[in-house]
Chains A and B, each alone.
Chain A
Amino acid sequence: MSALSFFQPIYLWGLAALALPLAVHLLNRKRSRRLDFSTVRFFKDTALRAAKMRRLRRIALLCARILLIATIAALFSKPYDPRAVFSTLVDPGGSVYCWIDPTKSMEYREGKGAVLLKAKAVADSIDKKLSPSSRRFLYDDARHAFVDRSSFTFDGNVVTRWGPPDIETMLRAFNRQRRGSTRTATLVVISDFQENVSEGFEAFFRADSAGAPIIGVNVAPATPWNIGILSALVRGRHPTLAVTTLAAVGKDFAGAGVSVITGGMRTGHDAVTIKKGCHATLSIPGSDGAEPNTGLVMLDADDPFPCDNTRFFTAEASSSVRVLIVGDSANSFPIAAALRCGETSAWRPVIMRPPRTVSYEDIDSARVVILNEVGALSGPLLALCEGRSFSNKAVIVSPCIDTGATMATARLFHFSNIRDNITFASHGAPCVPLLPDTLTPLWKGFPRFRETGAVVRRYVRPLPGNTILSLDNHAPLAAHAADSAGRSWVFFAVPIGFSSTNNLCETGMYVPMMDRIVRYSLESVCGEMEQWVAGLPRRNPYLKSRTGALVYDANNHRIAQWEKQPSVVFIEPGLYKIQPMGATSRWVAVNPDSQEITLAYRAPGFVGRGKKCMVFMENDEFLHYLKTDKGFFYAYGLWGALALLLFAEIFLWERRTEKNAKRRREEQS
């Protein structure tokens, strides 16, 4: 790739005019004549300096004239750096690769049309700017390759799809195809730059650098607002059908209707009011006798992004919960016993592991992890606490008060900024927990009853999160918090197994309290363990089975047969039935990617080579650049140079004043 190219190279012939100042200079040059003279004593210093200055002045004048002509020629021929991002876009001998974000977030309606239409308009503008000899490539999502096209003018060719954007595949295809060509390549990325798109670019540039220029054009809505369903789960049986989490972005919503549809009928309905930027969890009771195995939750709201207004659910997804208890087996035995004696189908299996022997597999397979008086954190436990892995879990933490392992407790209480301020408070008179406090959501629906036999002698204070259980002195006994990884945390201020500091496990309220605490924490877990995402390929679960499985949609039409394909994908969200050969069928709920419907936009941030490769611009700014040719060639610099050279020419030019002319005449005579 050359360092400089020209849009109008024909004008470079104007450089032939450089011969003019050279000729003038050579013709005007007076050869020095030898003169044997009486003395040179009067020529020293000033005359010598003047002669040097005069010679330098003439050389400077020659240079100024040469540069002046070269600058004029350059202004007409429009030079540009083919390695510069914008210049390559309009290189007549270049190739422009265009990727329009095909994800569902591009269907966000802004003004008259969707964001996708805005992206198409940008592509049209690029197409008009391009030279006819430029080659145009458009990314084909199905073929995972850029396809040669005659223009970027679209007639409904680009449609959105479900699933996350596959940035890495697209960039690899771009690199592969541009390296196979000798032309200058530019990639134009037109997207709303949601979090996942930006992360995709950042991850790619961290590992590899495309090398070629990339222009990112942001078509994200200026002031996005939305309300959508983040999750829908079936919790228990009658009367609660579905627990739905909703989120509002950019605007307050009041009275949005939420309906639960099971078996083709609306079996529940509720209305919700959510403030801007907040989440709301809604438990919708169903009608009597309804037992929802599968269904969907619909949000009735006229928002600009309707793709997240429907959420599918299946009862199978939350039918059985695996519980892992980490702690001393003797002390933790009451917890396991309390869970095992509860509802028979709810907590299965309940596994106990000492802290030192717990493995990554143990934690990964469990939906609920209870950390009871863990004094030392092993590697898997650290990974759990520090949020490096293990998303979508409910974690219940009780502190290690007896041994005074404050560091471990601090790590376990890793939320917020209270880590360094944990104290161990004790009272002379024992405290009594408020069991049950029926005003709190934890005990909602529980018969009003007061447990007076429970005594707490020592507890940790403060606790991170929102208090869900209290002592009679208003100190929190348990608190709940959720993190960005979709994990739900419940922190106890006291050990919840056998302990000398309290007698909770000896009271009659212990079993329902543990059951309610575990359920409460599970309700706040975002997503399901085995969640299918529309458009996201997953490993074929029947790859190694001999029989395979048939896949049916909600209308019982067969849509696929999973046999030996390594990965399988559901194109659209919905309810699907998987029928393995010779086994019972099961329903799966396929929902949109949660990142795709979050509508969180941000510009990609780069370090190192990625920063040089990619330019990120807003839609309007980019169109302005296209319109004004700004950044395409060095026009401003050349005009500035021209002005400077003209000034230098005037400054250096020896004007023939009357005096000079007279002197010359005298000399000639």
Chain B
Amino acid sequence: MENSFTSPRLLKPQHLTPIRSLTLRARLIVEGAMAGLHKSPYHGFSTEFLEFRPYLPGESARRIDWRKFAKSDRTVTRLFEDETNLYAHILLDKSASMRFSSIPGMNKYDYAKTLAASLAWVLIRQRDAVGLRIFDERETLMVPPRSTNRHLQTIIARLDQSRPSGTTRCGDALSRLAATLTKRGLCIVISDLFDDPGEIILGLRHLRFKKQDVIVLRVADPMEERFVATAPLKVHDLETGQSLSIDAVTAARYFSDGTARHMAAIERACRDLRIDFETVVTDEPFQRALVRVLDKRRKMF
């Protein structure tokens, strides 16, 4: 059996690079993800019965209506109308550090906003209300949560228009969002998390205090995961503009150690706060990243 995670049919970021339309990208990703998983994310969050549908091989046997099978000797699946009561917020970091890319054509921000669009697609298709907040050192865009298809187009259009710039103040953005939330819901934070870990944790704690389920998606470039360089480098900080001349070999060692410590602190805090923490690397296929997130959510509930 072909593993969906290693399937060549999966859309790799470089395959989507020529596709300029974020809508098309999101649709391709979501449809692909759904087809590969054989389990519908459309169902499971609602309890109101909608209709019967013939059972398709590969679907979960839990939803087979055994009573109908006993009567008619046909395997049918019960479908429920997914009427949402979930308010989801997607927080997208658009600081200049998200502009970095070691892969031609696909930087972290492109990957992040594609992922955000895909998630929004999935959630709206589930009739959940989705809002969008894009921030750097301040909140630059806020789209309130709604669940209409038109709203999805609005979110995708806003995502499409945004460009990475400014410095990261991830902790502040989380705290500001938490301060405005009144209902319990879901917050999906998409960022590279290159900010002070203390502030980030403070923001996450604030969100949890507001009874929010939080998913932290750390978007990382492959080079950030494994720093590789052979020649001396003059490193230019995309956010601050600061330049440093460093030696490649020692720089790799110190960067790996530094990021590991940094992310370990955040991950530990997430674990304590019962927050989902996922690292997605920009060379990873979108579907795999999306399914990983959704699957994790499914298991939790």
Contact = CB atoms under 8 A, between A and B. Distances in A.
Interface of A: 30-44, 46-48, 50-51, 54-55, 663-664, 666-668
Nearest to A663: B249
B83 interface: no
Interface centre among A30, A35, A38, A47 (most CB of B within 10 A): A38
A44 B97 CA distance: 17
B231 interface: yes
B232 A35 contact: no
B239 A36 contact: no
Interface stretch (B10-18, B120-128, B222-230, B292-300): B222-230
B254 A42 contact: yes
Interface in B100-118: 100, 108
Contacts of B251: 43, 47, 51
Q: Kindly name the residue among B233, B243, B259 whose own CB sees the greatest number of chain A CB atoms within 10 A.
A: B233
Contacts of A42: 254-255, 257-259, 262
B244 interface: yes
28 contacts: A30-B231, A30-B248, A32-B245, A33-B232, A33-B234, A34-B233, A34-B236, A35-B236, A36-B238, A37-B100, A37-B238, A38-B192, A38-B239, A39-B239, A43-B235, A43-B244, A47-B247, A47-B250, A47-B251, A47-B255, A48-B244, A48-B246, A50-B254, A51-B247, A51-B250, A51-B251, A55-B247, A664-B230
Given A40-B235, A43-B258, A667-B228, 17 more contacts: A33-B234, A36-B99, A37-B238, A38-B194, A38-B221, A42-B259, A42-B262, A43-B251, A47-B244, A47-B250, A47-B251, A51-B245, A51-B246, A51-B250, A51-B251, A54-B250, A55-B247
A51 B232 contact: yes
Pairs A-B, 6 closest by C-beta atoms? A42-B258, A50-B250, A51-B247, A38-B97, A32-B232, A30-B231
B55 to A, nearest CB: 48
Contacts of B254: 42-43, 46-47, 50
Given A38-B192, A47-B250, A47-B251, A31 B97 contact: no
A43 B255 contact: yes
Interface in B233-286: 233-240, 242-251, 254-255, 257-259, 262
A668 B229 CA distance: 9
B258 A35 contact: no
A39 B194 contact: yes
A35 B230 contact: no
A30 B249 CA distance: 12
Contacts of B97: 38-39
A666 to B, nearest CB: 8
A55 B192 CA distance: 32
Is chain B's interface secondary structure helix, strand, loop, or mixed overall? mixed
B31 to A, nearest CB: 32
B262 A34 contact: no
Contacts of B232: 30-33, 51
Contacts, number: 105
Contacts of A50: 246-247, 250, 254
B145 to A, nearest CB: 30
Given A31-B232, A35-B235, A667-B229, A41 B194 contact: yes
Nearest to B230: A667
A301 B241 CA distance: 105
Interface in B171-214: 192, 194
A48 B251 CA distance: 8
Contact of A36 (B100, B247, B250): B100
Nearest to B239: A39
Contacts of B229: 33, 35, 667
Nearest to A668: B230
A100 B237 CA distance: 82
Interface of B: 97-100, 108, 192, 194, 221, 224, 228-240, 242-251, 254-255, 257-259, 262
Given A35-B236, A37-B237, A43 B246 contact: yes
A140 to B, nearest CB: 73
A156 to B, nearest CB: 78
A37 B194 CA distance: 12
A33 B233 CA distance: 5
A144 to B, nearest CB: 74
* B232, B236, B246: residue with the most chain A Cβ atoms closer than 10 Å: B246
A514 to B, nearest CB: 106
A667 B227 CA distance: 9
B150 to A, nearest CB: 35
Contact of A37 (B236, B245, B250, B258): B236
Contacts of A30: 230-232, 248
A38 B238 contact: yes
B234 A41 contact: no
Contacts of A668: 230
Contacts of B194: 38-39, 41
A41 B258 contact: yes
Looking at B229, B257, B258, the one whose CB has the most chain A CB atoms below 10 A away is B258
Contacts of A663: 249
A33 B231 contact: yes
Nearest to B167: A39
B209 to A, nearest CB: 28
B246 A47 contact: yes
Contacts of B221: 38
A35 B237 contact: no
Contacts of A44: 244
Contacts of A46: 250, 254
A32 B243 CA distance: 12
B78 to A, nearest CB: 48
Contacts of A31: 231-232
Nearest to B95: A38
A35 B250 contact: no
A40 B230 contact: no
Nearest to A666: B228
Nearest to A29: B232
B242 A40 contact: yes
Contact of A32 (B99, B231, B237, B239): B231
Contacts of B234: 32-35
Contacts of A32: 231-234, 245
Most-contacted residue by chain B among A39, A44, A54 (CB, 10 A): A39
A48 B255 CA distance: 12
Contacts of B108: 38
A315 B244 CA distance: 106
Given A35-B234, A42-B258, A668-B230, A54 B100 contact: no
Nearest to B254: A47
Nearest to A669: B228
A54 B240 CA distance: 26
A44 B235 CA distance: 11
Given A43-B246, A47-B254, A35 B238 contact: no
Nearest to A46: B254
Nearest to B238: A36
Contacts of B244: 40, 43-44, 47-48
A205 B228 CA distance: 74
Contacts of A39: 97, 194, 237-239
A37 B259 CA distance: 13
A161 B235 CA distance: 89
A42 B251 CA distance: 9
Contacts of B224: 38
Nearest to A660: B249
Contacts of A35: 229, 233-236
Contacts of B98: 38
Nearest to B221: A38
Contacts of A36: 99-100, 236, 238
Q: In the complex, which of the residues B244, B247, B259 has the most CB atoms of chain A within 10 Å of its own CB atom?
A: B247
Contacts of A48: 244-246
A39 to B, nearest CB: 5
A31 B246 CA distance: 11
Nearest to B96: A38
Contacts of B235: 35, 37, 40, 43
